Amino acid sequence: MPEPEGPEFGPRDLLDWREESFQGHTRWRLDELGGLEGVQASCEPGNASGRFVEVEVDLEETPILEWRWAVEAMPEGHDERSRSGDDFAVRLYVIGEERALRWRTRALNYVWSRSEETGSGWKNPYQRQVAMVALRTGLPDKPDWVTERRAPVPPP
């Protein structure tokens, strides 16, 4: 039996998503790596913004999240579990549910870490109800796409 299909997004779609600045801005542009189109994000140290899209997904019908990512450089930083080190080459933020108080929303951050062990998890240093999960660690010898498939289950 084929897997049910949920919403699909391509690199060009991401450029249309709402940008939100954490501090300064990230530069976003279409680029190619290994013959596949993607979005390249770059910013100056200390700057960061993200792209967001809100989509309701029935996890009973479409329980798998799949994406492809690659890194070419790692940010300099401190302990990634601390506020001063909460900076990653790439991260995917998945909100588990919307609550009345936005800052109390449970969520997952899938990250490509500089130093945390692959598979390790910890609480976000800014929001305790947000779980961090290192899916990849370190800079690869050669940048290449890596496909991830996960069943995103928010922390309790």
pTM for this prediction: 0.85
Please tell me the distance from the alpha carbon of residue 130 to that of residue 152, in angstroms, as a whole number.
Answer: 13
Q: How far is residue 11 CA from its own chain's centroid?
A: 14
Structure tokens at 139: 């800079």
Walk along the chain (156 residues) and give the pLDDT tens digit of each residue: 566 577 889 999 999 999 999 889 999 999 999 999 999 999 888 888 999 998 888 888 888 899 999 999 998 878 999 998 999 999 998 887 655 555 567 889 999 999 999 999 999 999 888 999 999 999 999 999 999 999 866 544
Strands 130-137 and 107-113: parallel
Q: How many CB atoms lie within 10 A of CB 122?
A: 13
First CA to last CA distance, the chain: 31
